[in-house]
Structure 1
Amino acid sequence: MTQDEADVVVVGLGPVGIALCNLLAAAGVGVEGIDAADDVYALPRAIGMDHEVMRIFQNIGAADQVAAATGQYRASEYRSADGVLLRRFESPAQPYPLAWPPYLTFLQPELEKALRANGKRFPNLTLRTATELVGLENPDRPVLTLHDKVSGKRTKRTPHYVVGCDGAASFIRRRLDVALEDLDFDEPWLVVDMILEDGHVPLPETNVQFCDPARPHTYVYGPDRLRRWEFMILPGENPVEINRPERIWQLLSPWLRPDQARIWRSATYNFHALVAEQWRVGSVFLAGDACHMTPPFLAQGMVQGIKDAANLAWKLAYVMGGGSEHLLNTYETERRPFIREVIEITKRLGKVICELDPGKARARDAEMVAAMQAGQGIQVRQNLFPPIRHGLVSGGVDGSSTAGAGEPCPQPWVVGPFGRVRLDEALPPGFQLLITGDMDVSLNLLEKSREAGVAVHRVAQDRSYPALLVEEDRVLADWLTSKGARAVLVRPDHVVFGTASDAGEAEQIVRQLQTMLAATGQ
C-alpha cells in the first residue's frame, strides 16, 4: 500500500493505536499507523486486561501471540491497616462467558510487539515509526504534516479519517482545542515494577489494596516474576525524592530485600479522572488516553482504550463500505457516557483506598467488615460495569434498552465443521442473529435478516439437534434464558444490539437495526 492509499491514518502506536490498526486492516480498510518513537516503549505501564480485550485480539488473529505474554489475574483483596479483609473481587468461574479467562495480567512491551508483528499480515496496513505528526489542518477534510525523524523529510497526508491514539498529552486533542472534563480525582502515586530474582519469595498470592491511612498502597501479582507495588505519595512529600532507589527499598522493606529482586521501572504519576468533551471533530477522532484518563484501581485504562478502538473500527469500515456517515456519531454517543460511569465507579473505589484520616478509615473499615459479614463483600469484577445504554442498541418506546442490549455477547466453545473452536472463529464478521436450538425460524425472519445484512446462525445445545454449531456448557443458552430470550442480534464488535424471545420479536429487532443503520443526519 502506498502512502496515498490509506483511508485512515492512526496516530500513536501504543496498545490502543496498534489494536485499531489491526482491526481496521482486518476489516479491509487501508490504514497507515504512525508513531514518533522508533520502537515500542521498553518498560511496563498497563498490567491488566479483560476477556473482551482478548476476544478483540482473537478476532484479529493475534490471540496466540498475545497469550504468550500473559499471566493469571489473581483475586483482589482490600485489607485494613491491621490486615482485616474488607472486600474481595473475584472472577467468574468456568465455563468462561467469553471463552477467555475474565482477567489476565500481561507484559505491555511484549503485547505491543505481538500486535505490531500481527499487523505485518495485512497488505493494507503500513506502520511508520520515528514519524511525528507536526501539523493537522482542516478537520473536516484532514491534511496531516508528518516529519520523518530519520531523514528529516516532511510529507503530507489527506486521508478520509484520522484517529488520535496519541496519549494523555495528545497533540491531536490540543490541536483541535478539545477541552477535558475534570471528574475531580487527582492523587499522586509512586509505581514500582520489580522482577523477582528468587521465585520463592513469600509474597501475597492475591492482588491487595492496603487501605492503610498511614500510606495507602497496592500490590499486584504480575505475570512470571513481575510484581508491582503502588504507593500513595503523602502530602508534603517530594515525588522526586520518593522515587530514589534507596527510598523505594525502604518502602519495599516489609516484603523484599535488595538481593531478592531488582527494580525494573519506577515512576511517579498523578492518577487523574478526565474525559474529553468531544471525541470527534469533523473527520478526526480521539481514542484511549487521548480522550479519557481513568484512575488505575480497576485496571481499566488500556482496557477501555482498546474497547474504544473496537467500537470505532467496525463503524469506520461500515461507512467506508458505503454505510451512512451518521453511524460514526454513535462512537461518542456510546463510549463517552459509558466511560464516565466507569470512571465514577473507579473513583468510588479509589476514595475508599486513598482515605488518609485515621478516624474516617476506622469507620470505613467497620462498615466494610459488616458488609463482609452480611455476605455482601465478595463481588465479581465484571458485574461492576454497566452495559452500553446509548447509540446503536435496541430500545423500547420509553427509551429503555431491551434485555441484554449493550452487553458483550457470550462466546461459547462450539463444535462445528471446523472442529472445536470459539464461536467467533466459526462465524464470518458482521452482524449476526444467533438462535438457540429450540426456537422456530420463520421465512419472514430469514428474508428480513438477509435484507438487513444480518447472518442467521442456529447454535444448538444438543448434538442430536440438526445444526452446524453445537455449543459446549450452555453458556449462550443460559445467558439468553437469563434475559428471557432465545435469540440475540449481535453487532460486528460483539456488543448485543438486542434480544428476542421468538421469531416475531427477532424480526422486530432486525427491522429496528435496519432503520437505525439507514437513518440520515443525527
Structure 2
Amino acid sequence: MNEQCAVDVLICGAGAAGLTLAIDLARRGIRFRLIEKNAEPFHGSRGKGIQPRSQELFEDLGILDRLFAVGGVYPTERRYRDDGSYSEANSIEHNAPTSAEPYQQPLMVAQFLTERVLRERLLELGHAPEFACELVAFEQDAEGVSAQLADNTGTQSVRVRWLVGADGGRSFVRHALGIGFPGKTLGVRALVADVRLSGLSADCWHRFGEGDMLRQIAVCPLAGTELFQIQAPIPLEADIDLSAEGLTAILTERTGRDGIQVHSVSWASAYNMNARLADQYRVGQVFLVGDAAHIHPPTGGQGLNTSVQDAYNLGWKLAAVANGAPQNLLDSYEEERRPIAASVLGLSTKLLDGMQRGDMRRGREVHQLDLGYAQTSLALQHAERTGNLLAGDRAPDAQLRGASGQALRLFDLYKGAHWTLLGYGVTPGAVSPRPGLHIHHIGPQCELVDEHGQLQRAYALAVGDWVAVRPDGYIGAFVSSAALERLEGYLLQVGLGPVMPG
C-alpha cells in the first residue's frame, strides 16, 4: 500500500460540481486531489442550461466567454398539432440586460462541453482530475479524514483535512455516512438521448404531443454541436430500445412522420425522475455537494446550476478555514445551501407538473438571481436598513468610472478569490488594509466615481455606508460608518483580521 502526501481537500467526483470546487480551490492555492471513479469524462448533454446566476459564477472563474463560444441561445420552440400545422413561441422570457443584471437568458451548453471547458480551466491552474480512481473507504476523526483509494495500480491511503462528496445521486460518500436521502419518485420515467438525425431542421426546438404523456416527444438541436437531444416520457416498466433503430421507431410513432431518421446515438439514458434532499450536508470533516446532496427533475434546468453554486459556496469557506479562519465558518455551508436546494426542488417539481399539462413557460424564477442567504449567520446589516437589497442577497453589478477616467464594472472589482469592501462617501483609511480584502472608496476625490448613480440605485446606499461583498458575490454586510466596530467583528468572523504590527 502506497502512502500519499496529505492534501487539504479530497474531492470525490469530477462532474460539474467537483470541477467547479477544484477550480475555486486551485485559484486560492489550496492543496487538493480531484478523483473520478469512471475511466473517462461524462459524454452526455444532460444538464444543458446555464442560468444567469451561474453565468456570473463562470465569469468570475474566467470561462464565461468560452462557454458562450461553444454554446448558444435557446431556440424558438415549434409546437406541432395533430394535423401537421404548428405554432412557434419562446417558452423562455427574453429580457434586456441591465447594469445590475448583465445576464438575463439561460445559455445552452451541452453538459459534456461545460465540463470540458471546466477541465481546461483547471489544467491552466496546474491541476487535472484523476480518472479511474475510486474512493473505497474512509474514516474520520476531529482533525481530518483517512481515505482509501483504488486505481489500476492498486490501493493507496491518503490523509486529508476534508473530504467532499461530489459523486452524484448514488453517492458512495453519502451512503458511507449513513445520511438519509428522503423525497419521492415522481411517477415519471423519461428517456434522453444525444443523436445525429435527419428529417428535422436545426433552427428550432421541435415539440410533438404536448400535454399527452403517452405521445409527448421533443427534439432539441444542441447548440455548438451537430447533435440533437431527444426527450420523451416513457412507460414506467416497459423495456425501451435506445438504439438508433429503436429511437427512430419512437419518433415515427409519436410524430406521425416517416422522414425522421436517427443515424447514430452518442449517449442515451432511461431514468425515473426523483426529488430528494439529503438530511445533512456535513458530518464532521465530510461534506456533500451537487447531486450527492439533492436530485431534481430536469424541468427548469436547475440541477447543474444548483450543484455548481454549492461548490462556489463551499470553496471559499474551506480555503478561509485552511488559512486560519474560525472553524465554525464551515457550519454556514449547510445553513445556506440546504434551504436553497429545498426551494429549487419545489420549483422543479412544480414545473414538471406544468410540463405534463403542456405548459413550458419559463421566467425569472429559474434564473437563480433572486436566491440568497438573508437572515443567516453571515448576513449583517444595520437595523434601520430597509428595501429590496439586504445582507445575504446577490451583489448587483453596476457601471463606475475610475479616477483615471476609465469605465469599469463592479463585477471587475469582485472578480477573484478575495472579499471586497466598498465605502460610499466614507473617510478613506477608516478600515485598515488586510490580506484577502480589497477596499475601494467611492465618491468625489476618491478612486471610484458613481458617475451615473447606478451603484447608489442598486445598493440603496447612504453616505457613510460600507458594503462587504463575499468571494462568491453575495453581500455579507451593510454597516454605517458609525458602527465600524461591528464591521471589524464581522471581518474577524470570516477570517479577515487586521495585520498586527511586528
Matched, 1:490 2:469: yes
CA contact (8 A) 2:55 2:103 kept: yes
| Aligned match of 1:109 | 112
Residue equivalent to 1:431: 419
Distance in 2 between residues matched to 1:202 and 1:288, nearest whole Å = 32
Partner of 2:270: 268
Q: What is the CA–CA distance in structure 2 between the aligned matches of 1:317 and 1:410, rounded to whole Å? A: 24
1:148 maps to: 151
Partner of 2:57: 56
- Measured in 2, the distance between the counterparts of 1:212 and 1:514 equals 55
Aligned positions of 1:187-226 closer than 5 A: 187-195=188-196, 200=201, 203-204=204-205, 210-212=210-212, 214-216=214-216, 220=220, 222-224=222-224, 225-226=226-227
| Alignment partner of 1:346 out of 345, 348, 353 | 348
Are the structure 2 counterparts of residues 197 and 84 from structure 1 closer, same or farther at C-alpha, using a change threshold of 3 Å?
closer
Q: Which runs of 5+ in 2 are unaligned?
A: 497-502
Q: Counterpart amino acid of 1:271?
A: M
Aligned to 1:333: 335
Number of positions where the alignment pairs a residue of Structure 1 with one of Structure 2: 485
Q: Does 1:517 align with 2:500?
A: no
Are 1:277 and 2:260 matched, yes or no?
no
Counterpart Cα distance in 1 of 2:95 and 2:356 = 27
Shift of 1:133: 1.2
Give, as a single letter, the amino acid of the residue that structure 2 aligns with 1:26.
R
What TM-score do you get using the length of structure 1 for normalisation?
0.79
Aligned with 2:259: secondary structure? coil
Range with greater deviation from structure 2 (271-280 or 88-97):
88-97
- Would you say the 8 A contact 1:8–1:159 is kept in 2? yes
Query: Against the structure 1 CA distance between its residues 378 and 116, is the aligned structure 2 distance closer, same or farther, given a 3 Å change threshold?
Result: closer
Tell me which residue corresponds to 1:456. Answer: 439
Change (3 A) 1:402 1:333: farther
Displacement of 1:162 in angstroms is 0.9
Offset at residue 265 of structure 1 (A):
3.1
Partner of 1:358: none
Q: Give the corresponding residue for 1:46.
A: 47
Deviation, 1:494, is: 0.7
Q: Which range moved further: 185-194 or 158-167? A: 185-194
- In the alignment, residue 379 of structure 2 is paired with which amino acid? V
Structure 2 CA distance for partners of 1:143 and 1:407, relative to 1, 3 Å:
same
| Partners of 2:425 and 2:464 within 8 A in 1 | no
Contact 1:45 1:108 in 2 (8 A): yes
Q: Secondary structure at the match of 1:120?
A: helix
Cα offset, 1:63, TM superposition: 3.2
User: More deviation in 189-198 or 76-85?
Assistant: 76-85
Residues 451 and 41 of structure 1: CA distance in aligned 2, closer, same or farther (over 3 Å)? closer
Asked if 2 retains the 8 angstrom alpha-carbon contact of 1:440 and 1:503, the reply is no
1:478 equivalent in alignment to 2:463: no
RMSD between aligned residues: 4.2
How far apart, CA to CA, are the structure 1 residues paired with 2:76 and 2:343? 23
Mapped contact 2:208–2:255 kept (Cα < 8 A):
no
* 1:452-499 CA distance string (max 9 Å, x none): 964322457xxxx54545679765443224999975321111112244
Partners of 2:82 and 2:488 lie apart in 1 by 57
Specify whether residues 200 and 44 from structure 1 end up closer, same or farther in structure 2 by C-alpha distance, changes over 3 A only.
closer
CA distance in 2, matches of 1:223, 1:485: 48
The structure 1 residue matched to 2:394, chosen from 408, 413, 427, is: 408
Cα distance between partner residues in 1 of 2:456 and 2:263? 48
> Are residues 1:393 and 2:379 paired?
yes
Q: TM-score, normalised by structure 2?
A: 0.82
Write the distance in 1 (CA, Å) between the matches of 2:81 and 2:441.
50
Secondary structure of 2:308's counterpart equals helix
Contact 1:79 1:211 in 2 (8 A): no
Aligned partners of 1:168 and 1:293 also within 8 Å? yes
- Shift in CA distance, 281/12, structure 1 to aligned 2, threshold 3 Å: same
User: What CA deviation, in whole Å up to 9, does each residue of 1:343-381 have, x standing for no partner?
Assistant: 1122122122235xxxxx9xxx8xx9xxx9xxxx97564
Q: How much does 1:396 deviate?
A: 7.0
Distance 1:286 1:238, change over 3 A: same
Shift of 1:126: 5.3
Shift of 1:74: 4.9
Could you say which residue in structure 2 is the equivalent of 1:441? Answer: 426
Structure 1 Cα separation of the partners of residues 389 and 377 of structure 2 = 15
Q: Distance in 2 between matches of 1:181 and 1:52?
A: 27
Q: Structure 1 CA distance, aligned partners of 2:106 and 2:299?
A: 14
- Classify the secondary structure of the residue corresponding to 2:182: strand
- CA–CA distance in 2 between the matches of 1:73 and 1:484? 43
- Determine the C-alpha separation between the residues in 2 that align with 1:112 and 1:510: 39
Does the aligned pair in 2 maintain the 1:95–1:475 contact within 8 Å?
no
Query: SS of the counterpart of 1:296?
Result: coil
Residue 159 of structure 1 corresponds to 160
Contact 2:426 2:465 in 1 (8 A): no
Q: What is aligned with 2:238? A: 238
Shift of 1:226: 4.1
Cα separation, 2, equivalents of 1:129 and 1:17: 13
Change (3 A) 1:418 1:307: farther
After superposition, give the CA deviation of every residue in 1:165-202 in whole Å (9 maximum; x if it has no partner): 11111111111111102156342112233445578456
- The answer as to whether partners of 1:77 and 1:88 remain within 8 angstroms in 2 is no
Contact 2:221/2:227, CA 8 A, preserved across alignment: yes
Letter in 1 for 2:458: W
1:93 maps onto 2:96 in alignment: yes
Amino acid at match of 1:67: F
